[in-house]
Structure formats: structure tokens, C-alpha cells
Amino acid sequence: MFRVLKEVFIAIPKGMFVVFKQMFHKPVTVDYPFVKPPMAPRYRGLHFLERYDDGSERCVCCGLCAASCPADAIYMEPAETERGERYAKIYEINELRCIFCGFCEEACPEEAIFLGKEYEFASSHRDNFIYTKDDLLVKWPRTKPSEVKFLRPMRRVAWQQSEEGRPQH
């Protein structure tokens, strides 16, 4: 009996106090889709394939992304251009299998594949989640400046400049 009374007169008002207190706080949710929350700088969303500054594809279809992918989400078939260069004839990512770990980006020796900020790619059909090369390659000419910083041309410069980077011999 005493316990019931204690609940009614102490516990409930205590709980309601928390509720009322929250009414004067700023909400943590946002009014999605009219308002979008800011993304973490290292957020990993939908993949895209980058290009060189002359518009040619960076990907050479080496298969390392597919080899590193823990979800086996990437499929590709290489081919040769008329100039004897290797490129990806088919490059597909199954975004339903992908776990967005970013290993592919990590593995890529050509800095061709990146995980972007895009996350709105729901669909009502499974097949639509297989992203082909056309879907993944950035549009050319670019509609907006590239969001990625390429490390490759900078690497050499970096260790030439910093003393720590120099070999210790």
C-alpha cells in the first residue's frame, strides 16, 4: 500500500518533471527531408569512381577493391582500349551487399574509387541496387568540383619536404 502511494506521489511527478523540462530544450531530430543534418567528414556513403583531369577514368580494373571487399560486393571485367590501356569494361557494385566499410577505397592503388556522402538511394526493387559503371563514374564534364583530395601526386613531395619522411640511413 505504502509503495503504491509512494509511486503516485513521488515517482510520477518526478518523471513528468523530466518530460516538461525537455519541452524547453532544442529538439535533437531534424525535419528530414526538408532539413538535412551535417555529415561527418569521414562519412562513407554511396561509391563513386573518379576521373583524371582530362576526363579519362582512373580505374584500371586491377581488382584490388574486389579482393579486399569483405562482402564480395564488387564485380568487374577488364578489357583493353585501342591504345592498349587497361580499363574496366564492366564495373558493378551491389550496394545491398556492401557494408560500407571503405576497404575498397583504402585498397585502390589508382585512387579511383571513393565512398561519397550520398545516402539517399532507396529503391523498391533489388535490381536497382546493382550500380554499374555508368552510375558510379562521376559525370563529365563535372557538374561540381571534385570533393576528394588525391594523394598520389603529392606523396613524393611530402617526403621530400619533411625531414621525418626521409629514410634513416
Q: Which of the ranges 10-18, 31-39, 67-75, 130-138 carries the binding residues for ligand SF4, by CB under 6 A?
A: 67-75
Residue of the chain from 6, 36, 86, 117 that contacts another protein (CB under 8 A): 86
Residue of the chain from 25, 26, 144, 169 that contacts another protein (CB under 8 A): 169
Given another protein, ligand SF4, none, residue 67, with its beta carbon under 5 to 8 Å by kind, binds another protein
Q: What are phi and psi of 68, to 5 degrees?
A: -85, -15
Residue count, binding to ligand SF4 (CB under 6 A): 28
Site string for another protein, 50-79 (x = CB under 8 A): ----------xxxxx--x----------xx
Q: Please, are residues 117 and 39 in contact by the beta-carbon 8 Å criterion? A: yes
The answer to whether 104 contacts ligand SF4 (rule: CB under 6 A) is: yes
Euclidean distance between CA atoms 123 and 135, whole angstroms = 14
Coil vs helix vs strand at 77:
strand
Residue of the chain from 51, 92, 93, 131 that contacts ligand SF4 (CB under 6 A): 93
Torsion of CA 78, 81, 84, 85, to 10 degrees: -60
C-alpha cell at 6: 509512494
Q: Which helix (H) or strand (E) holds 21?
A: helix 12-22
Find residue 75's DSSP bridge partners.
Answer: 92
Residue of the chain from 46, 51, 112, 131 that contacts ligand SF4 (CB under 6 A): 112
Euclidean distance between CA atoms 70 and 90, whole angstroms = 20
Interface with ligand SF4 by CB under 6 A: which residues?
A: 59-65, 68-71, 73-74, 76, 93, 98-104, 107-108, 110, 112-113, 115
